[in-house]
Structure 1
């Protein structure tokens, strides 16, 4: 799976500085939240510049980042993090500590490899609206993660589909750690190491594999 994940040339042209650390975790033993998310703050060395870089990236494909915020921006504004389950809580905590957008996906729910593309506009995106399951579509030119079935995350890292979200039943997962300049690559790697360590605490027998796609 990792070797097949790709970034489309149209996205590379939009943001040549984009890099992503991809991580698979196989053999997870997920479970309910355990109350560790309440006191998480950005770590030393985080200055807010990376959030602004993501806002600028959103403007680059026609999205107002005040109306649809990059995932890390939304998390940092929340104060206390939501409690979802142990694995989701772990990557949300790392996201805040390292000021880094991180997505988590149920690998077994994927249909074909993940790829980052600019949408045609007709791709299905399954989500929930007013408590009801609905299918939406991205705007033409929108940056999205997708597989062979449809969009797995809209607006780069804004909102995940329901099909691939991580639940307490998830056993194999894909994590997507995304960086723009001036965020250092060594800090991106450090975030990956921190996440891998937390996943190993949750699931001592987990098997972690990573791949870094650089500019």
Structure 2
């Protein structure tokens, strides 16, 4: 899976400074949030602060036509809620806490729900994106030119890292996960690697037998 993940050239043309650290974790033992995972969220809230990386993401959103005040980059939205971060489940709590501590967009999804490899592209506008609307399953579509993560079945995350689909969401029953840690300049690659190491350590704390692999993807 890791070697088949690609970033389309149209995305590189938009932001040649983009890089993503992709992590797979197999053999997860997820479950409801507990004292430890909630403690990670509380600790992250104490470390939250302004970071130039957030503004880089706002600029990237504007570059493909999104309004970051209305649909915020994931790290921007989390930092604004840092004092009251919701607990979801142990694994989601882990990556949300690292996202806030490192001012870094991180997405986590169920690897087994993927159909084909993940790829970052600019949307045509006809790709399906499954959501829950009014309590019922629904299908939306991205705007043409929008940056999206997708697989063979459709969009897995809209507006780069704004909103994940229902199909691949990481639940308490997830056994194999994939995590996307995304950076733009001026965010240092060393800091990105440190964030990845911290996430891997927390996943191993939750699941001592987890098998973790990573791959850094940057512009060739």
User: TM-score, normalization: structure 2?
Assistant: 0.95
Give runs of ≥4 in structure 1 deviating > 6 Å: none
CA deviation profile, 1:12-44 (whole Å, cap 9, x unmatched): 000000000000000000010013223423749
1:33 aligns with 2:33: yes
Alpha-carbon distance between aligned partners in 2 of 1:120 and 1:42, rounded to the nearest angstrom: 41
2:51 to 27, 48, 53: 48
In the alignment, what sits opposite 1:101? 105
Query: What is the CA–CA distance in structure 1 between the aligned matches of 2:65 and 2:77, rounded to whole Å?
Result: 18
Partner in structure 2 of residue 70 of structure 1: 73
Structure 2 alignment gaps of length 5 or more: none
Q: CA-atom RMSD, angstroms? A: 1.2
**What is the match of residue 208 of structure 2?**
204
Say whether residues 1:20 and 2:20 are aligned partners: yes
**SS at structure 1 position matched to 2:200:** helix
Cα distance in 1 for partners of 2:46, 2:193 equals: 16
Name the one with the larger helix percent. 2
User: Separation in 1 of the partners of 2:189 and 2:116?
Assistant: 28
TM-score (norm 1): 0.97
Q: 1:80 Cα deviation (Å)?
A: 1.6
Query: Which residue in 2 is equivalent to 1:116?
Result: 120
CA distance in 2 between partners of 1:145 and 1:2 (Å): 14
What SS class does the counterpart of residue 204 from structure 1 fall into? coil
Give the secondary-structure state (helix, strand or coil) at the position aligned to 1:63: coil
- Alignment partners' CA distance in 1, 2:178 and 2:121: 18
Aligned to 1:142: 146
